[in-house]
Chain A
Amino acid sequence: MYDLLIAPFAEFPFMKRALVGGLAISLGAAPIGVFLMLRRMSLIGDAMAHAILPGAALGFLIGGLSLGMMTLGGLAAGLGVALAAGLVSRVTLVKEDMALAAFYLVSLALGVTLVSANRSNIDVLALLFGSILGLDDATLLLIVSIASVTLAALAIGYRGLVIECLDPGFAAGIHRLGPLFHLGFLVLVVLNLVAGFHALGTLLVVGIMMLPAGTARLWSENVTTMIAIAVPVAMAANLAGLLISYHAGLASGPAIILVAGAVYALSLLVAPHGFGRRLLPQRHLQG
């Protein structure tokens, strides 16, 4: 048992770092995923991730494999796209999903153009799928900081954010900060995607955001409970994914997301709001 569950982390520092990084990412990203889902923006995370990739690649071109430049590039690209899309959707008739689609595609094309023009040997695969086993101290610190900022921001803005999701018109009537909440939330999304891409890559980080959120929705009808479910699910997926990848010699990032996917699939079958109601119909009650 010890060999199976504890030894990998006790013996190998890189496994320890991977675990700490994964748990920290879970703390920030899973609640963000719940809010994305509640705002019907589940796919926005994916779009934003695509927007971040070129920024990170550009950072790499300028500064090499430096954490600072890649993070800055990713943040700049992500925030730029988020703010531009927010502006367009508020000022014009174009809805936010279309506005985001336009900007992230341009950002992606621009990034690919820049990278290929420079004929660099940038490891695009590492950007896409991350390297959770290669987290250094600085990256770990960045991840943990972003998780802390996210949790603090969510705690402070929780009520406003929930009311804004529930009834935007009503929210606008009781306070004028509605647009700020929305933008602040998008900033949190970008921050967490940037934190996550170092470990899981820009594409897979969306998985640790959304799969636990979807799982939580199948189990609960209450926002707070959903967050309380999503975070531990994400953490457990990190732990189990790392162990499986270690013992079976598989890639770590995808293993983590596959575990999260398996939990989601299982929940679909057995959770109270999953398929169960259809598969095991009960007699209706008296009127």
Chain B
Amino acid sequence: MAEAALTFRDLTLGYERHPAVHHLDGTVERGALLAIVGPNGGGKSTLLKGIAGRIAPLGGRIERASGALAYMPQIADLGRDFPVSVFDLALTGLCGKAGLFGGIGRHARRQALEAIGKVGLAGFEDRPIRTLSGGQLQRLLFARLMLQNAPLILLDEPFTAIDSRTIDDLMAIVKGWHAEGRTILAVLHDLDLVRAAFPQTLLLAREPLAWGATTEVLTQAHLDHARRMAEAFDRDALECHRAA
């Protein structure tokens, strides 16, 4: 069995004591390309936030293999009208390695130019980011992810409101990462895309409903179950005492 990149042990994540991810157990193997699907409010983004360390678990724990992590949130904190060029924003991807004080040399600059080229933004280097369209900005954020060079990559709805050509281009990059042996978790709503490109899927509707090979997870029975799970939010929920 391959080495674990991530292990969830009876993990519960949530807000104000209400669980958004409830009692999740399981292992993500190193090099996995895992899609996370499920209804809105099903805890998909919460799980990524938990892995990225943005929120602390309400219960259980997450074990993560050593190494950097690159996280693309659903709604970036990025200030879109901040006066920074495409090239400089891409360069920030190298700060994980160069640190806050390390030099950014000629090699780093060439890497950044290459990454911008790979996401199809060659020629945009000097443009301020506020002049980019939504899709172009997403391409740029992929270039930054590329430069972060992390063994574990978390993508939260990376293709929402993105045209099909851009999705194809960016998926090619994701597949490249997969081929390089990186571990990738992507929250997605496009089930056709998941079936076509993601070998493994986790179906999450607060409770983990199914996790395994995509063909076995995305069955009609599982998806119907997820739909029914989506509605309930019990304001007066009792304390949970489920055994681990």
Q: Say which residue of B69, B79, B96 sits within 8 Å of A167 (CB atoms).
A: B79
Instruction: Knowing A163-B92, A177-B100 are in contact, say whether A170-B85 is a contact too (CB < 8 A).
Output: no
A191: interface (CB < 8 Å): no
Q: Is the CB of A38 within 8 A of B95?
A: no
Counted as pairs of residues, one from A and one from B, with CB atoms less than 8 Å apart, the total is: 58
Q: Is the CB of A166 within 8 A of B100?
A: no
Q: Say which residue of A159, A165, A173 sits within 8 Å of B82 (CB atoms).
A: A165
Q: Is the CB of B83 within 8 A of A226?
A: yes
Q: Say which residue of B52, B85, B89, B128 sits within 8 Å of A173 (CB atoms).
A: B52
B60: interface (CB < 8 Å): no
Instruction: Knowing A159-B101, A173-B69 are in contact, say whether A166-B96 is a contact too (CB < 8 A).
Output: no
Task: Decide if the interface of chain A is mainly helix, strand, loop or mixed.
Answer: helix
Q: Say which residue of B73, B85, B96 sits within 8 Å of A174 (CB atoms).
A: B96
Residue on B with the closest CB to A174?
B96
Report chain B residues within 8 Å CB of A177: 100
Residue on A with the closest CB to B131?
A221
Q: Is the CB of B128 within 8 A of A221?
A: yes
A247: interface (CB < 8 Å): no
Residue on A with the closest CB to B85?
A222
Q: Is the CB of A169 within 8 A of B77?
A: yes
Chain B window 59-103, contacts with chain A (Cβ cutoff 8 Å), 1 for yes, 0 for no: 000000000011101001111001111000100100110011100
Q: Is the CB of A167 within 8 A of B77?
A: yes
Report chain B residues within 8 Å CB of A170: 76-78, 92
Residue on B with the closest CB to A156?
B101
Q: Is the CB of A160 within 8 A of B78?
A: no
In angstroms, Cα B49 to Cα A169, docked, is 11
Report chain B residues within 8 Å CB of A217: 83
Of A38, A162, A173, A177, most B-chain CB atoms within 10 Å: A173
Report chain A residues within 8 Å CB of B89: 166
In angstroms, Cα B73 to Cα A157, docked, is 25
In angstroms, Cα B128 to Cα A222, docked, is 9
Which residues of A come within 8 Å of B, CB atoms?
38, 156-157, 159-160, 162-163, 165-170, 172-175, 177, 217, 220-223, 226
